Structure 1
């Protein structure tokens, strides 16, 4: 690609239209599609397979970006969320305002897909979402990049969907939530271990390295490299603009191993001004690596 990427949002979100299932989902599963509804307390929640999902505040505020800055209210309806969440043509001006060159996009309603128990239904939901997301990104193929939703209720179906997303939709990556799927934690032998979070990593890697260096006293793992060396080789960490341990972790792991993110248009994100929020935490050289180089490597955007 010829575009230069200086700032990449590694964890942006879309707002799926509540009725997109009617167009994108396999007809055999449409009657079982998730439903966004108004609950008895007036809050919007999601109904999937008889389960009601969404906390005390409901889901209406999913697109209330700016709420943490007092620029938006969380007391809105889902369809009143930031227009860029629904419409790529509205998203691009918002990205331009913050100087963001590219965004990798994750769902909002789809984040609840792990509550589905039937693997085939989960696969149908993922296929529908991924097809819709590909259409959302299509007008701006060098700026908007979809991250495929995978049906982890079945490892085989997840692999099938990742292959479809890559080969048919051109997606570069897939995601899974850290919550259990059908009561299987992600450290189940069926899955590769997955951890989430950021600031805890450096002290734990340091401790594991010390045990490794003690030899057989505390280490019986037969590892050839220090744990931190495996981590630096194979892992990246996503950070939000306000996380306080960013500068320390950039020095410990390397700034090119960090994926900067806005969380747009979710209410815990920041807009406008998210890129500038890390200016005081990092040197100019490290800022460049955090804002773009990590994502360029992780998503293989070069």
Structure 2
């Protein structure tokens, strides 16, 4: 019989990053765009200087970061080094987003369509840059058959382009071996995501089984000036915003096979948002003057449990304390490798500090099994890797007496979504 404290965790990071040094994308870009690409490359130095002037880039930090992590950072595009870094962190598999370099943008996809993917890009150049990255990524994640099971590549999808071209890119990306789709967090001056023009895109994503994800990065930076506190205060709001556009417009009802996630934006905002949306749908007094929500057939929380997930990178203790409101299976942990705001290269220590008092069964879901379900990882193929590299519950300092751990969380689990269970809100002096 296995020991609950010795069986290693099968860890899947729902948020990692990879990308070529930008100039090396040229062979993956159609030749008719090479002149535009040269212009884009020529402006990189100017963009870096502007980032430094605004305070977005800290030159002293950048110098230290690249010096101290030179070898590991090569894992952003070197597959052999990448596997060494994943092994060191105890990560058996990963979901791979663009832009390995989040400090100097030296691995930006052509024409800025990586984490800065937005609705204001030139439609033709945006699609060309996305396809260049997608071609390289398909090679990168599938280049070594023995390790292909460890990676799910996320295709860049400029969804505000002409719908037929967007649908074609979904199928091309799927056939190339990529497993998910990243859409812009911001549509800027294009049609918002409640518009029916996107229905063929949602249908194609559901048909191919490719989860659709937004990711933190894009924001109206021109509005902030050098006031970085403003930027940081709302940068995670933009990728979350499409969620309620899709939900209230009935996208999840019309496309029940569609999976949608929000990455690297935390999940601290979700409990209150979910409470508010459920109460609105269920007839809260403040919503009675509004038109009926005819597009929805069930409360928002039911769509969340059926189709929505949160890639909660670098998940915080506060967020784990809210997991019964969010839903344990809706929280997908991520390391953010190789970005400095993530847990790499000290993931094992970070996990011990964060999950030491979380029940083992729930930890297994949050750290890997939930992500394996969403992104279609083969856990049987990953199991030998997990046994070789995965940290055990004992290594995370988790108590051998799991019955006591479960009992310590019993009241929170019982209350759950207090607005549905009709329990008192578990905060002193407050009520539901």
TM-score in terms of structure 1 length = 0.80
Q: Deviation of residue 117 (structure 1)?
A: 3.1
Q: Deviation of residue 157 (structure 1)?
A: 2.3
Is 1:123 the equivalent of 2:127? yes
**Alpha-carbon distance in structure 2 between the residues aligned to 1:53 and 1:26:** 29
Is 1:214 the equivalent of 2:295? no
- Tell me, yes or no, if the aligned pair for 2:119 and 2:160 is still in contact at 8 Å: no
| 1:214-250 per-position Cα deviation (integer Å, ceiling 9, x unaligned) | 3797352144322211111110011122424322342
- Tell me, yes or no, if the aligned pair for 1:10 and 1:238 is still in contact at 8 Å: yes
Q: Secondary structure at the match of 1:39?
A: helix
Q: Deviation of residue 143 (structure 1)?
A: 1.1
Unaligned residue ranges in structure 1 (runs of 5+): 46-51
**Alpha-carbon distance in structure 2 between the residues aligned to 1:81 and 1:186:** 38
- Tell me, yes or no, if the aligned pair for 1:13 and 1:265 is still in contact at 8 Å: yes
Q: Structure 1 29/80 Cα, relative in aligned 2: closer, same or farther at 3 Å?
A: farther
- Higher fraction of helix: 2
| 1:73-119 per-position Cα deviation (integer Å, ceiling 9, x unaligned) | 2476x998811112111010111011100111111122234376321
Partner of 2:361: 285
Partner of 2:92: 101
Is 1:114 the equivalent of 2:118? yes
How many residues in Structure 1 have an aligned counterpart in Structure 2? 282
Q: Secondary structure at the match of 1:146?
A: strand
Q: CA RMSD for the aligned pairs?
A: 3.3
Q: Structure 1 272/20 Cα, relative in aligned 2: closer, same or farther at 3 Å?
A: same
- Tell me, yes or no, if the aligned pair for 2:94 and 2:152 is still in contact at 8 Å: yes
**Alpha-carbon distance in structure 2 between the residues aligned to 1:102 and 1:17:** 23
Partner of 1:147: 154
Unaligned residue ranges in structure 2 (runs of 5+): 1-7, 100-107, 109-113, 203-240, 244-261, 379-432
Q: Output aligned runs, 1:52-91, within 5 Å.
A: 56=54, 73-74=64-65, 82-91=73-82
Is 1:160 the equivalent of 2:232? no
Q: Output aligned runs, 1:1-302, within 5 Å.
A: 6-33=10-37, 34-35=40-41, 39=45, 44=48, 56=54, 73-74=64-65, 82-108=73-99, 109=108, 110-114=114-118, 117-137=121-141, 138-139=143-144, 140-154=147-161, 155-167=163-175, 169-188=176-195, 190-191=197-198, 194-195=242-243, 196=262, 197=265, 198-214=267-283, 218=287, 220-222=292-294, 223-275=296-348, 276=351, 277-280=353-356, 282-302=358-378
- Tell me, yes or no, if the aligned pair for 1:241 and 1:278 is still in contact at 8 Å: no
- Tell me, yes or no, if the aligned pair for 1:151 and 1:158 is still in contact at 8 Å: yes
